[in-house]
Structure 1
Amino acid sequence: MKNHATANDHEFPEWILGVIRCPNSGTCLSLASAQLLSLVEDRHGRSPMTNKIGRTISAIPTQALVSQDQRWLYPVIDGIPCLLPDEAIPLDFPFEFADPQDR
Structure 2
Amino acid sequence: MKQINSSAELKAVLKADKVLLFVHFEWSSSSRYVLWNLEEWEKESDWANGESAFEIYWLEPDEHPDTWKWIGENAVNLDQENGYTGGLVWLRNGAVVGTVENQEFPGLRELKRLTKLRLGIEERAGQSSVVDPELLRILCCPETYQDIKVAEAAVIEKINQQIFTGALRNRRGQVIREVIEGGLVRADGRYLYPIRHNIPIMLVDEAIPLIG
- Tell me the TM-score normalised to structure 1 length: 0.68
Q: CA deviation at 1:23?
A: 1.5
Tell me if structure 2 keeps the 8 A contact 1:17–1:28: no
Residue of structure 1 in register with 2:138 after alignment: 19
The counterpart of 1:77, out of the listed 196, 202, 205, is 196
Q: Distance in 2 between matches of 1:11 and 1:42?
A: 22
Greater RCO (CA < 8 Å, at least 6 residues apart):
1
Look up the equivalent residue of 2:184 and give its one-letter code. Answer: L
Per-residue CA deviation, residues 39-80 of structure 1 (Å, 9 max, x unaligned), is 323444566111111011113412111111111111112111
Residue of structure 1 in register with 2:60 after alignment: none
Tell me if structure 1 keeps the 8 A contact 2:127–2:153: no
Worse-matched range after superposition: 73-82 or 18-27:
18-27
Larger radius of gyration: 2
Residue of structure 1 in register with 2:186 after alignment: 67
Q: How many residue pairs align between the two structures? A: 87
Gap change, CA 1:53 and 1:22, over 3 Å in 2: same
| The structure with more helix, counted as a fraction of residues | 2
Sequence identity, in percent? 28
Residue of structure 2 in register with 1:50 after alignment: 169
* Structure 2: gaps (5+ residues): 1-125
Q: Distance in 2 between matches of 1:43 and 1:52?
A: 15
Gap change, CA 1:31 and 1:49, over 3 Å in 2: same
Residue of structure 2 in register with 1:91 after alignment: 210
Q: Distance in 2 between matches of 1:42 and 1:32?
A: 15
Residue of structure 1 in register with 2:130 after alignment: 10
2:193 is paired with a residue whose SS is strand
Gap change, CA 1:17 and 1:11, over 3 Å in 2: closer
Q: Distance in 2 between matches of 1:57 and 1:50?
A: 5
* Structure 1: gaps (5+ residues): 1-5, 94-103
Look up the equivalent residue of 1:58 and give its one-letter code. Answer: R
